[in-house]
Structure 1
Amino acid sequence: MTSIEENSTLNASEKAANEFYNWVRQNTIAFLLFVSLYSISYSLLQRFRKKNKITDVEEEEDDLYGIDNLIIIILCAGGLAMALAGFLLWPFTMIATALLHNEIFSGNYYLTWLNAELLVTLWDYAFIGCNISLFGLLPFAFFYSETDQLRTFFAKARETLTIMLLVGMLMYGFIYTLKKIFGMSDVDELEMLNLFTCIGGALICLKATPRGYIEIFSWISRLPLRPNYRRSLKEKLKRYKMDITVWRQRLENLDRGLRSMYGVNNMSRSAVLVPSTESQYSYSSEKLYASMHGFANNIISNRSMNLSNSRNEIIAKINKLEEEEKLLRKDLSHSPLYRNMLFIVLFIVSHFIWLLILGHILYALMKSLLVDDGKDLENLEALIGKQTVSLLGFGTLNDITLIFCFTSATIIGVYSISPFEKIRPRLGKMTVQQIIANVTVLLVISSSWPALVRVLGLTRLNSAGPYENFSTMINIGYHLAMAFRIGTLITTVFSTLEYYVLRMIRNPSHNTDGISRRPYNHSRFYQSQRDRNTVETNLNGYFFHHSPPDHHGMRR
């Protein structure tokens, strides 16, 4: 009996030690993944944030190098890291599942840390981190940026926490009221927040995803080049060279006029006035010289100012033409054959992937309409094969490709629709408010992304953690999933028809190489000899010529 008790004690201690080691390993891996994502997020925000000059007085309030805005950047980097974690949950889970079920990698020593418990832990941490960032870090960053900048850090932090507490009480009252209205008293507040987040992400996807694919298709449609592309570019390059030559000639004419003007303006009084030997005319001559010299100076200063402005405009035009000439020389290196082959490949692949996504969504919709969730799906799954976890038998790679394309189309489409077009990320030009807005939008989408991907049927794997309760926690979740599938199909079909049909009706003659076919008019750049000398003629009209002096001592 003693040996049995000792063995049971040893087994219990070994089990507790294994659980402790598993807990430490899971948290260590999760922490390392978070540090990696945080480093990537912080470096991205550093590249996109606005670089203000020290001497810029107008931008002192938005100085991102201050300690206050550094705190905001740190908080936004944490939110962006959790947004990336939400987007990468499904691809990481699919790859890990494929490795665990593969006979080659299942017994690998370096993959012993990879198990189902680790995946569930990562899903839980991603859910908690996304909600903390969305309802904690980013509101704190926003309210902190709106506080008085002249106050101390602790005073601003206390004011920010007070505002967040008041807003949190309002949100709790709003959620409690909705629960009573819809009869959802048994639903937890966190599940309600998750439901609202999923609804917000679904509404954004309904508008943004079809628009994102239209943007991708339009970019692909600009790839093909005509066979006479190089010849057209060479002709346009010759025209640019001629324009640059003409504008340089005009610049030389203006410089010549300015030199002659300043030469007369700075000439000595002897060029205009010859002193008389008779003293009775000296005073009147001096007075006449002063009045005429002042009048001439006013006219010359006005003329010189106009010529200087014209000279700056001509220099700006020359610089612009030279930049366009450089771009044309760069475009000459593009091969029409390579671009056309790339267009064919991308056109086929993109449309095939888009049709696959629509097929997955339609399959999920038909399955939810014809088959109940509680019934056995063995007969239905036998139609597409039991050995795979995705539609049409393409496996894990197919699912990852579809999710990646769907995510890319959604993110591209978000910054193409009108509400979010103003906050589109730009390198080195984003202010604090724009950074907070971008991270908030990405967090809303990524928080709902694990549930939306499963609802659309882009994968056959089940969600883990709190995300698996989205469609089954209440009846409204089932109806919302149905509405989201139907809405996605309708918006996608109508957006595609609008892009292809209406675009062909409105623009029947589409120029593929992007080169204008309008006749190029050179007459606006050329001047006759009379027009070229107009400036000098007008200027010399105000000058006193060196004629022989009259009896008053003045030159005619």
Structure 2
Amino acid sequence: MEDAETDIREQMFHNTVREYIIFLLLFIVLYISSYALISRYRWRAGEDYLTTDEDEATVYRVSMCLCAVALAVSIGATLLLPISIAGNEILILYPNSYYVKWLNSSLVQGLWELVFLFSNVSLFALLPFAYLFTESEGFVGYRKGIMARVYETVVVLCLLGAMVLGMTYILSAILDRQKSSLHTLLSLWSYYLPFLYSCVSFVGVVMLLLCTPIGFVRLFGVVGSFLVKPQFLKNLDDEFFAYKLEEDCIKRRLDHAKATGKSYVSPVPMSQPGTDNLAPDADDDDCDEVSLRPNPGLMCLRNGALQRGLAQRLEEIKTRRQQLDEQRRTRWVRRTLLYPTAMLALLVFSTATALLALQNTLQLLVGIKALPLSTSKFTLGISSLSKLGPIGATLEVAMILYMAVTSAVGLYTLPGVRLVRPRLHSTPLTHVIANCALLLVLSSALPLLARIIGVTNFDLLGDFGRIEWLGNFKLVLFYNVIFASVAIGCLTTKFTATVRKEIYARLRSSVLGIFKRDCKRAPTLAAKDE
């Protein structure tokens, strides 16, 4: 009997150690990937200043590490639901396999709880500390140094935390009067932190309501800018030679200006200054392509600004010409089939997501579908989450990942977020912190979005299932209605805007032509009457 108890304890010990090792390896992989991604986008022009000031370099490195941790947690929160769905199907297909015994409910539930914990820590402690640490200078009268900045950051962070907790207590007293009392005032970890995170998750779900349908539309343009369009839609040879001629023209003008020292264009262009050159299209921020649009100011520049403008324009034209040269050398199969396939896949995923939200709305109204609030403990490997089995689960995983991509694309098209959008090698540290916070909020709300609109039936594990507002029928129904309406409206506008503009232009030209004819006939009729 004692041997049996010893074996059980040893097995539990080995299972716990194995889970911790898996958690540590996953975190290391995500952290290294996040740090490499941030290093690719961070601002590198200020590295010379950091080499001269050791304190600033230390602050910069610490803040970068904290941002990498937050980004790793956000990536983990995004992949958490797809990994759980895939793990459940793997256990159903191979229940007795030796290689998947480590994948069990305890491991997956531990992942959910750790992601929930580190999401709170990153959002309410690490990222505010990183921002305050970069802005701190130390208290007045205290000896300057790195510890002075740490003391100031900790004091300000504690004051900020007290203010946030006070606002949380007031908000919980307003929204939930029954549970708010003097006894719950001391229940910081068990009541107020989950309540605060539920408020943040609600904000994230509302942001996803705006970003995801917009991302459905914007993703078509983003994918189209990286793929080669078929030959019948775009003549790459004509566009390549047009950019090559423009490159030669600007190069000759730049060489002539450098050789003669003239601060104006010589010879004078034959066309008007407002139409003789090309300029990048500023309306499409997601496309790196240089469009053939007039630049009214380049030919009017004087002094050294002319040479700088011509050199910058020459680099843009040269980059675009090289891209076109690579695209027109691609194989016929890739150039003909890849673009339509990608566009068709985006259309199918967008339409399926909108229809799922509409179906979930009808099922909630009829009473077939239950609310997404988790009420029972879910065990992996018992039953499939989809009626189609592994194929349906694969489609669910693909749709969840697709929504993650579209929400990120739609996020950076919002008016206020465009200012902090990351750019290669030119993103300052404060913008990095802001982007990590935004992505963390969205990724933490992504499992809730997939559960609310009915993409998957997977019960949220750990503290993710304790979010109380998921049990509000009116709120969930209203969210599904708005999401389905906005998604269908965005897709309809995307594919009918060109036709509507053309019809409007034809009608407008016809009406203006009729009025012009009437105006011309009126003087002639008056002259005949006289």
Question: Normalising TM by the smaller chain, what interval?
Answer: 0.7 to 0.9
Residues 1:55 and 1:73: Cα distance change in structure 2 (over 3 Å):
closer
Is contact 2:74–2:119 with CA below 8 Å preserved after alignment?
Answer: yes
Q: Which has the larger radius of gyration?
A: 1
Counterpart residue number, 1:440: 437
Matched residues in 1 for 2:230 and 2:56: separation? 45
Contact 2:55 2:146 in 1 (8 A): no
In structure 2, C-alpha distance between the alignment counterparts of 1:43 and 1:319, rounded to whole Å: 28
C-alpha displacement of 1:250:
4.3
Q: Matched residues in 2 for 1:16 and 1:363: separation? A: 48
Deviates more, 1:475-484 or 1:198-207: 475-484
Confirm whether residue 406 of structure 1 aligns to residue 403 of structure 2: yes
TM-score, L = length of structure 1: 0.70
Match of 1:298 in 2: none
After TM superposition, list the pairs within 5 Å mapping 1:6-25 onto structure 2.
7=1, 9-25=2-18
User: Aligned pair count?
Assistant: 439
Alpha-carbon contact 2:42-2:426 (below 8 Å) kept: yes
Alignment of 1:83-94 (within 5 A): 83-94=74-85
1:115 to 1:483, Cα distance in 2 relative to 1, 3 A: same
The question of 1:425 aligning with 2:406 is answered no
1:216–1:409 contact (8 Å) kept in structure 2 = yes
- Following the alignment from structure 1 to structure 2, what is the Cα–Cα distance between the partners of residues 171 and 130? 17
**8 A contact 2:404–2:443 mirrored in 1:** no
1:499 to 485, 494, 497: 494
Native 8 Å contact 2:123 2:437 kept in 1: yes
CA separation in 1, counterparts of 2:10 and 2:217?
55
Matches of 2:470 and 2:443 in 1, distance apart?
Answer: 24
When residues 245 and 212 of structure 1 are mapped into structure 2, their CA distance, relative to the original with a 3 A threshold, is closer
Distance 1:254 1:362, change over 3 A: same
DSSP 3-state at the match of 1:101:
helix
Report the Cα distance in structure 2 between the residues aligned to 1:315 and 1:174, rounded to whole angstroms. 54
Q: Distance in 2 between matches of 1:318 and 1:467?
A: 53
CA displacement at 1:333 relative to structure 2: 2.2
Contact 2:85-2:385 at 8 Å conserved across structures: no
Q: Which amino acid aligns with 1:479?
A: K
Find the aligned partners of 2:258 and 2:24 in 1 and give their Cα distance: 67
1:195 deviation in Å? Answer: 1.6
Match for residue 66 of structure 1?
57
| 8 Å contact kept, 1:233–1:332 | no
**One of 109, 127, 139 as aligned partner of 1:120:** 109
* Partner-residue secondary structure (3-state), 1:106: coil
Residue 238 of structure 1 deviates from its aligned partner by: 6.6
* Alpha-carbon distance between aligned partners in 1 of 2:109 and 2:81, rounded to the nearest angstrom: 12
**CA distance change for structure 1 residues 340 and 27 in 2, over 3 Å: closer, same or farther?**
same
Question: What is the correspondence of 1:40-189 to structure 2 with a 5 Å cutoff?
Answer: 40-52=33-45, 66-102=57-93, 105-148=94-137, 151-186=144-179, 188-189=191-192
Kept in 2, the 8 Å contact 1:141–1:436? The answer is: yes
- Pairing partner for 2:364 from 365, 368, 386: 368
Query: CA 1:60 to 1:215, structure 2 compared with 1: closer, same or farther past 3 Å?
Result: farther
Which amino acid counterpart does residue 108 of structure 2 have in structure 1? L
RMSD: 3.5
Distance 1:497 1:116, change over 3 A: same
Q: Contact conserved, 1:227 with 1:336, CA < 8 A, in 2?
A: no
User: Are positions 1:355 and 2:355 aligned together?
Assistant: no
Alpha-carbon displacement from aligned partner over 1:352-373 (angstroms, at most 9, x marks no partner)? 1112212222222222222277
C-alpha deviations, 1:385-424, integer Å up to 9, x for none?
x975236663221111110111110011111111211111
Q: How far, CA to CA, are the matches of 2:452 and 2:313 in structure 1?
A: 56
Hey, what's the Cα distance between the residues in 2 that align with 1:315 and 1:221?
Answer: 28
* Paired residues of 1:197 and 1:447 also in contact (CA < 8 A): no
Question: Partner letter of residue 206 of structure 2?
Answer: L
Quickly say closer, same or farther: Cα 1:165–1:341, change in 2 above 3 A. Answer: same
What is the letter of the counterpart of residue 338 of structure 2? L
Name the CA distance, whole Å, in 2 between partners of 1:255 and 1:370: 79
| CA shift in 2, pair 1:313/1:407, >3 Å | closer
Deviation at residue 72 of structure 1 after TM alignment: 0.5
How far 1:242 sits from its partner (Å)?
Answer: 6.2
Number of the residue aligned with 2:463: 466
Q: Does 1:489 align with 2:484?
A: yes
Residue 251 and residue 508 in structure 1: after superposition, are their counterparts in 2 closer, same or farther (change >3 A)?
farther
Residue identity matched to 1:364: N
Residue 339 of structure 1: how far off its partner (Å): 3.0
Shift of 1:323: 5.2
Say if 1:54 and 1:115 are closer, same or farther in 2 by CA, change over 3 A: closer
Highest relative contact order (Cα 8 Å, sep 6+), 1 or 2?
A: 1
- CA gap of 1:359–1:249, structure 2 versus 1, over 3 A, is closer
- Residues 478-525 of structure 1: CA distance to partner in whole angstroms, max 9, x if unpaired? 433223222211221222233233343336799xxxxxxxxxxxxxxx
- Measured in 1, the distance between the counterparts of 2:394 and 2:170 equals 45
C-alpha distance in 1, partners of 2:357/2:237?
47
CA contact (8 A) 1:197 1:444 kept: yes
Deviations 1:310-349 (A, max 9, x none): 7777777766665555455444425676434223212222
Q: C-alpha distance in 1, partners of 2:145/2:451?
A: 47
* Amino acid in structure 2 at the alignment position of 1:486: V
The whole-number CA distance in structure 1 between the counterparts of 2:442 and 2:352 is 22
- Report the Cα distance in structure 1 between the residues aligned to 2:312 and 2:408, rounded to whole angstroms: 37
**Aligned residue for 1:269?**
none
Distance of aligned partners of 1:185 and 1:501 in 2 relative to their CA distance in 1, 3 Å threshold: same
- 2:278 corresponds in structure 1 to none
1:198 deviates by 1.6
- Partner Cα distance (1:404, 1:143) in 2: 33
What percentage of aligned pairs have identical amino acids? 21
State the shift of 1:123 in Å.
Answer: 0.7
Q: 2:207 pairs with 200, 204, 207, which one?
A: 204
Shift of 1:45: 1.5
Deviations along 1:183-222, one digit per CA (max 9) or x if unpaired, are 3443721231222122111111111111111111234566
Cα 1:346–1:508 change in 2 (3 A) is farther
What is the TM-score of this pair, normalised by structure 2?
Answer: 0.73
1:240 aligns with 2:235: no
Q: How many Å apart are 1:166 and its aligned residue? A: 1.4
SS of 1:196's partner is: helix
| Counterpart Cα distance in 1 of 2:502 and 2:330 | 26
Please name the residue that 2:329 is paired with: 333
Among candidates 16, 21, 27, match of residue 28 of structure 1:
21
Which residue of 260, 264, 282 corresponds with 1:254? 260
Tell me if structure 1 keeps the 8 A contact 2:43–2:426.
yes
